[in-house]
Amino acid sequence: MVRDTDHKFDGVSKDRYLLEEITLAENPETRVPIVICVDCSYSMRQEHRLERVMEGLEQFCADMARDQIARDSVDLCIISYGGASAKVESRFASPASLLSQGLPKLTAAGATPLADAVSKARSRLKLRLERYNDNGISNYRPWLIIIGDGDETAANQELRQAAAELKRESDAKHLNVLCILVGDETNIEYASLMQLSPDNRVQYLRDLRFREFFSWLSRSIQKTSQSMSGEEVNYEPTGTWAEVIEADS
Amino acid sequence: MRFKVSWAAYAGIGHQQLGLPCQDAIAVERSARTVCAALADGAGSCASSHIGARCVTEYVSKLFQERFEQLWLLDDEALGRLVLDGCIQTLAQQEPPIREMACTLLYVAMSRDGRYLSGHLGDGVQILVGPKGSTVFSPPENGAYRNETFFLTGEDAPAHLRLGRGQLAGGGALLLMSDGMADSLYQYQTGTPAPACSVIARWLMEGDEQTVSQAILDNMRQIFSAHSADDLSLAAITWEDDLSNAEGGA
């Protein structure tokens, strides 16, 4: 076998042995679908939480758009949940295209329809994966990121059902779920997010460190988009930007 | 039939940057009567998968080269069991734990009368190039996601080892490649070979083995590595009727 380190043949091959690009396959970059659900309930006005989320999100898109592989891999959808129901603010798109069209302008008002956000996220993801499949595009395991500062307003059967579905998909390694909690340390509400978290962990974001969180997410997605067949991706610990709250703590 | 074989493996840019070895391996064995090429792609998350890939390719290529006629008589179930058990026993003799040597496996063994036995577990692709063009001989098998596949060391390996056997006549070529190479030579959307497969086959039909092995490596360095950061490996076998020796000819 000829290996990279072998030099037993003199010189390089003649040009006639170099393949032309036109003879090669053109495979699209493997996609990393990400849905980010952003809490837009009234309480997100406090400490400018919502603005800080969007600043971090913009930074994340810029980081991804600069990365040679991730810019063609990342496929991002933004869902807001505030008021009576959740809303798809931005359909799946590349970070560069999101930046060029401008990130959605979110406003904080009303209640916290968390279960509806999960339902819409799952439904959008399902459609997107079907679209990939129809077009022969491969993908990495999708991400669902839920950012919030409070509990589901109408705690109900829907939330339990959403939690059970996320748990099932996560256990089957069909979905990465990350629950990010913001809010007043002395009065945090995390019961709903904890319920939705398949590993019974919520990442409490101290001091609204969204930039640090989105930087971590950028590195994680870069690792994912560069991972090779058979490689289990090991993400950095979240301790640099979050305090992990576990179900029994 | 007369055979020619060329092959090369190249550490992908991802592994070069991390100072890691190439986790793809190829072994070729041949005698007057048979030729066998085996290729394995070590699992990226296993530290010793390059050892596993090397060991199983050496084992499988030698097994089929030495015992082709006996293996031909086995049914697929017995043959698959023999291949997998032999691979695991070979890995068990190595120092690292077996689970740390996980790898895929692709092989093709051919006799001079045109009969072939082939096997494929996991991703990577086998392409057949004939007079009428190239077709997929064995497609990749991934898990739910592109970076998930099946390995020799998995409990589910027997269910995923795909065996083939038959007769090839006239002139042609078989290309065995890892998934890194497949990014350039296999169109995933349509499940079809890229035109370059026929070009490489023609190089080997018309040229000598060493020159073509070097050409494959040069293309890995200059062309294919721009399409994938993964390790790259490719083995090409060509055959043509040996008119000077009609023994067993198709």
Domain boundaries, chain A: 29-224
Cα diameter, chain B: 52
C-alpha angle A38-A117-A199 in degrees, rounded to nearest 5: 85
Terminal-residue alpha carbon distance, chain A:
57
Q: Is B36 on the interface with A (CB under 8 A)?
A: no
Write out residues 211-250 of B within 8 Å (CB-CB) of A.
Answer: 211-223, 227, 229-231
Cα–Cα separations (whole angstroms), residue B112 to A31, B39, B173: 45, 21, 14
Model pLDDT for residues B193-227, shown as the tens digit of each residue: 999 999 999 999 999 999 999 999 999 999 999 88
Domain boundaries A29-224, CATH class: alpha beta
Contact B131, B241 (CB under 8 A): no
Over chain B, what is the mean pLDDT? 93
Model pLDDT for residues A56-77, shown as the tens digit of each residue: 999 999 988 988 778 888 999 9
Q: According to the model, what pLDDT value does residue B1 have?
A: 87
Banded pLDDT at A9 (limits 50, 70, 90):
very low
Q: Is the pLDDT of residue B166 over 50?
A: yes
Q: Provide mean pLDDT across the span B159-183.
A: 96
Q: According to the model, what pLDDT value does residue B13 have?
A: 85
Banded pLDDT at A10 (limits 50, 70, 90):
very low
Model pLDDT for residues A196-235, shown as the tens digit of each residue: 999 988 998 877 788 888 888 888 887 776 666 656 677 8
Residue A135 and residue A131: Cα distance in Å, rounded? 6
Q: According to the model, what pLDDT value does residue B142 have?
A: 87
Of residues A183 and A120, more confidently modeled? A120
Terminal-residue alpha carbon distance, chain B:
8
Q: Say how many C-beta atoms besides its own lie within 10 A of residue B226's C-beta.
A: 12
Q: According to the model, what pLDDT value does residue A190 have?
A: 80
pTM of the model: 0.80
Read off φ and ψ for residue B125, nearest 5 degrees.
Answer: -140, 150
Domain boundaries, chain B: 2-240
Q: Is the pLDDT of residue B180 over 80?
A: yes
Q: According to the model, what pLDDT value does residue B250 have?
A: 29
Q: What architecture does CATH give domain B2-240?
A: 4-Layer Sandwich (3.60)
Write out residues 91-150 of B within 8 Å (CB-CB) of A.
Answer: 102, 104, 122-123, 142, 144-149
Chains A and B form CB pairs within 8 A to the count of 151
Q: According to the model, what pLDDT value does residue B104 have?
A: 96
Contact B135, B128 (CB under 8 A): yes
Report the percentage of chain B scoring pLDDT > 90: 82
Read off φ and ψ for residue A3, nearest 5 degrees.
Answer: -110, 165
